[in-house]
Amino acid sequence: MKALLFTLLGCAVFSAGAQASSSQAWSDHQQQVLKSCIGASQLKQVKALGKAAEFDDRVGYSALLLEGRYPQKHMNNRKGTELCLFDKKRKAAFVTEWTPGQP
Identify the pLDDT of residue 18: 43
* Torsion-angle region of 65 (φ positive above 0: left; ψ -120 to 50: alpha; else: beta): beta
pLDDT tens-digit series, residues 1-43: 433 323 333 333 333 444 455 899 999 999 999 999 999 999 9
Task: Report helix, strand or coil for 81.
Answer: strand
DSSP string, 51-75: PPEEPPTTT-EEEEEEEEE--SGGG
pLDDT tens-digit series, residues 46-63: 999 999 999 999 999 999
Identify the pLDDT of residue 75: 94
What is the pTM for the complete model shown?
0.76
